[in-house]
């Protein structure tokens, strides 16, 4: 049974105080209104004092009598009667006006909004695209999205998740475009979450993703509104979590991780070229060390005598198996990355230099690692950082390890088998019922225009069909001037 307000002011006040565990930042302001005692309650830390003064306290003192919702000049005035409702309003930053002899209270929204200003996202930089990024406030993020898609079809569904944290979570999609069956499924999964605290979008991703044991990320995090909106208009669903600048996009395909906003603002040939480079980088970061290991330890006859000679010479004084070499070098690289990633820039630079010198030259001179291996690992590392979304690059580096092991144990056969299993896994993966490796598996020729290549914008008459949008056509007249 929910506790309701009574007619006694002191009693109500005590109840609320108890509800808030006698916290000391619950402030009060006593006043006389309509010749009755009147108390304004608010969480000291959550309200904007100036607003409280001008929109609530001043009008009440001035009017002295009348109806509260007429007197108070704020936009959001609401009458509530249960303690728990008052509690949640207070936590949102409202103030509560209690009056002697009334069984209802009025809540007025005077929340303090401190939020980081909109900046360029640090981990998704762009050269030729918009420079704004999402922030920690869910309201601002919605604003950034709404400003880009001004349609009444943009639907926001909000949830409050977390028993303790009461985090606001918003599901955003285009009602006339997103596949309704899929949206229902996402809603079902999100509303089934029951936890104490929900602090980031990463947690919610793990709660609702289809294949938790897959090495591939199945949802796309982005801090770029332009990117989020571009997927929104493909019929995908966005998930915003209050307090997290990263927006979740679902369902996503493998190839989305290799698209960047800049592709669409470069000439299409340039865009296509970069796409190809990125896919090459993915293949290199998975296979290159493994192929090298397989060649030097099993199939050296693949190399013609000239190259074989120079490779063998560099291997001459190295006491370790190529697999050990490659493995330790990869680990050292990860160490360097982890060490420098969270340090202040000057120290990180020092580590970079020390690491570079030590790894690059000293290790080779001490003949712990061969020259060729340094080249191979360097190439692999660079190409794993090419992926526009960091998670996919990391997953590629991670997948490189089993391929390396297979190459060290079984040579080319091992590589072929492991790669085959990876591709099988990609074919099997489905997120929210949509195939992950689309448009390659299942093959959809029409969707290939925006994956491995980027066709000119006026060729993209239909939107990608991987998330089964309600209608496909997205362009009607682009270069119509040419025909007349």
Measured from the CB atom, is 268 or 412 closer to other proteins? Answer: 412
**Which is closer to other proteins, CB of 33 or CB of 323?**
323
Contact letters for other proteins, residues 393-412 (x by CB under 8 A): -----------------xxx
In the set 335, 423, 461, 470, which binds other proteins (CB under 8 A)?
423
Whichever of 46 and 416 has its CB closer to other proteins, that residue is: 416
> Exactly one of 421, 470, 472, 475 binds other proteins (CB under 8 A); which one?
421
Q: What is the DSSP string of 431-469?
A: ETTEETTTTTTTT-GGGGGBTTSB--GGG--B---TT--
Least distance between other proteins and beta carbon 268 (Å): 23
Q: Which helix (H) or strand (E) holds 333?
A: helix 322-341
- Choose, by CB under 8 A, the member of 303, 324, 339, 405 that binds other proteins: 303
Closest CA to 374 of 292, 282, 294: 292
Residues present in the chain in total? 484
Shorter beta-carbon distance to other proteins: residue 85 or 185: 185
Q: Which residues 184-223 are close enough to bind other proteins by CB under 8 A? A: 185
Q: Residue from 307, 331, 335, 470 that binds other proteins (CB under 8 A)? A: 307
Beta bridge partners, 65, equal none
CA dihedral (48, 49, 54, 60) in degrees, to 10, reads 110
**What dihedral angle (degrees, nearest 10) is formed by the CA atoms of 26, 27, 31, 34?**
-30
CB of 425 to other proteins, least distance (A): 8
- Name residues whose C-beta falls within 8 Å of residue 267's C-beta, 6 or more positions apart in sequence: none
- How many alpha carbons lie under 13 Å from residue 114 in its C-beta half-sphere? 4
Pick one of 440, 450, 451, 463: the residue that binds other proteins (CB under 8 A): 440
- Using CB under 8 A as the binding rule, whether residue 468 contacts other proteins is answered as yes
Q: Which of 66, 215, 356, 442 binds other proteins (CB under 8 A)?
A: 442
Pick between residue 84 and residue 310 the one whose CB is nearest to other proteins.
Answer: 310
Pick between residue 1 and residue 305 the one whose CB is nearest to other proteins: 305
Rounded to 5 degrees, φ, ψ at 159 are: -130, 155
DSSP per-residue string spanning 237-295: EEEEETT-SPEEEES--GGGGG--HHHHHS-HHHHHHHHHHHHHHHHHHHHHHHHHHHH
Residue from 149, 416, 448, 457 touching other proteins (CB under 8 A): that is 416
**Closer CB to other proteins, residue 99 or residue 415?**
415
Using CB under 8 A, which of the segments 18-26, 248-256, 392-400, 416-424 binds other proteins?
Answer: 416-424
- Let me know: does 327 contact 290? Beta carbons within 8 Å: no
> Would you call the peptide bond into 251 cis, given omega within 30 degrees of 0 as the criterion?
yes
| Stretch of residues binding other proteins (CB under 8 A), selected from 239-247, 344-352, 378-386, 434-442 | 434-442
* Alpha-carbon dihedral angle through residues 399, 405, 411, 415, given to the nearest 10 degrees: -20
Least distance CB 147 / other proteins (angstroms): 33
Residues ≥6 apart with Cβ < 8 Å to 3: 15, 19, 82, 83, 84
Q: Min. distance of Cβ 211 from other proteins in angstroms? A: 12
Stretch that binds other proteins, among 9-17, 134-142, 252-260, 427-435 (CB under 8 A): 427-435
List of residues contacting other proteins (CB under 8 A): 181, 185, 298-299, 301-307, 410-417, 420-421, 423-424, 427-428, 433, 435, 437, 440-443, 468
């Amino acid at each position: 049974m929910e506790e309701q307000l009574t007619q006694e002011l002191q009693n109500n006040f005590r109840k609320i105080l108890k509800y808030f565990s006698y916290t000391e930042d619950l402030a009060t302001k006593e006043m006389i209104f309509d010749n009755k005692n009147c108390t304004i309650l608010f969480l000291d830390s959550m309200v904007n004092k100036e607003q409280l003064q001008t929109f609530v306290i001043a009008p009440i003192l001035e009017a002295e009598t009348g109806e509260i919702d007429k007197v108070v000049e704020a936009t959001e005035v609401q009458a509530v009667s249960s303690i728990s409702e008052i509690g949640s309003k207070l936590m949102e930053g409202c103030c509560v006006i209690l009056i002697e002899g009334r069984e209802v209270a009025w809540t007025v929204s005077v929340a303090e909004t401190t939020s980081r200003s909109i900046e360029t996202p640090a981990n998704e930089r762009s050269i030729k695209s918009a420079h704004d990024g999402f922030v920690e406030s869910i309201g601002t993020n919605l604003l950034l999205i709404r400003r880009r898609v001004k349609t009444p079809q943009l639907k926001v569904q909000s949830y409050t998740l977390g028993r303790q944290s009461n985090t606001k979570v918003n599901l955003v999609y285009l009602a006339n475009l997103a596949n309704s069956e899929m949206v229902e499924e996402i809603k079902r999964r999100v509303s089934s979450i029951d936890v104490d605290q929900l602090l980031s979008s990463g947690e919610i991703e793990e709660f609702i993703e289809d294949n938790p044991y897959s090495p591939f990320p199945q949802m796309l995090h982005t801090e770029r509104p332009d990117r989020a909106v571009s997927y929104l208009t493909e019929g995908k669903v966005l998930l915003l979590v209050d307090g997290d600048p990263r927006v979740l996009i679902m369902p996503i395909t493998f190839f989305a991780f290799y698209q960047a906003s800049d592709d669409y603002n470069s000439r299409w040939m340039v865009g296509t070229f970069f796409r190809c480079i990125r896919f090459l980088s993915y293949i290199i970061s998975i296979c290159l060390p493994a192929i090298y290991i397989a060649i030097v330890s099993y199939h050296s006859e693949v190399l013609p005598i000239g190259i074989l000679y120079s490779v063998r010479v560099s291997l001459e004084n190295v006491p370790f198996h190529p697999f050990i070499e490659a493995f330790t070098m990869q680990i050292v690289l990860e160490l360097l990355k982890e060490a420098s990633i969270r340090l202040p820039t000057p120290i990180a630079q020092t580590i970079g230099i020390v690491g570079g010198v030590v790894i690059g030259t000293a290790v080779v001179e001490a003949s712990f690692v061969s020259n060729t291996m340094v080249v191979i690992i360097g190439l692999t590392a660079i190409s794993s950082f090419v992926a526009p979304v960091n998670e996919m690059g990391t997953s590629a580096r991670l997948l490189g390890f089993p391929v390396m092991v297979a190459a060290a144990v079984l040579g080319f056969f091992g590589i072929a088998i492991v790669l085959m299993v990876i591709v099988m896994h990609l074919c099997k993966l489905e997120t929210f019922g949509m195939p992950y490796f689309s448009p390659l598996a299942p093959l959809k020729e029409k969707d290939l225009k925006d994956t491995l290549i980027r066709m000119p914008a006026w060729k993209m008459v239909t939107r990608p069909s991987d998330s089964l949008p309600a209608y496909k056509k997205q362009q009607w007249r682009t270069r119509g001037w040419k025909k007349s």
